[in-house]
Amino acid sequence: MKSIAYIKQTQMFDTKQKCFDTLKTIECSSIYLEGSDETERLGWKEFVEALDRGDTAVFASLSNAFRSYREFILFVKFCNNKQICIRSILDGVDTSVSSTSNVLSAISKLPINTTNIDYLASDLQADMELSEYELGMVKRHQMVINMYNAGFKVDDIMSKTGYTSKSTIYDIIKRYNIPLEYPKMSRKKEPDYTA
């Protein structure tokens, strides 16, 4: 049983140095360092080939080592089959502890085919994107608010934005919690008949 470490080179040198110091205390038998070129991931391939049954795979952090959830699940399944422990320094994950290993064994039972998850993500993305009509409405509302805040009269705002009702303009202003400044009501003075 040996500990084998993998670290991907990042911009944060202080974190990397902290990880190297921690790896020295763990006494890893070998450390695989991945360069900034991620196309072939030669360091990762060497790291996985070096792992044997009963070893411990040590990472600086899980987000540093894995590019996607799918890749993480595949690695967890690989480790589960070979009885390899996973340890992440910054995340505080150690599968040699029974509570963590139970969680990772549950993760290893997740399906690799993530098409259902991908569909959910695309549906969420579709919901987040505005349609052209909604985007046009938002731009019109923004124009109403900007003109109102700039001091334009409601009639000028109506002619510029295409709305035909003053109540629509006031509804938009109220919807976005813009404080209304009502025009001063000017009343005609009634003639004084006392004279």
Q: How confident is the model at residue 187 (pLDDT cuts 50, 70, 90)?
A: very low
For the segment 4-20, what is each residue's pLDDT rounded down to a tens digit?
Answer: 888 887 666 556 677 67
**CA-to-CA distance for 131 and 143, rounded, in angstroms?**
18
Q: What is the pLDDT at residue 38?
A: 64
Q: Name the superfamily (CATH) of residues 3-118.
A: Resolvase, N-terminal catalytic domain (3.40.50.1390)
Q: Report helix angle 166-175 to 154-161, nearest 10.
A: 90
What pLDDT score was predicted for residue 114?
A: 47
pLDDT of 32 reads 83
Domain locations along the chain: 3-118, 132-175
Per-residue pLDDT at 14:
57
Residue-wise pLDDT for 117-146, tens only, equals 444 555 555 555 667 777 788 889 999 999
pTM (2 d.p.): 0.51
pLDDT digits (tens, 9 = 90+) for 84-94: 888 888 777 88
Judge contact between 16 and 45, C-beta under 8 A.
no
- Structure confidence at residue 109 (pLDDT): 57
Q: Is 22 exposed, middle or buried (0-12, 13-18, 19+ CB in 10 A)?
A: middle
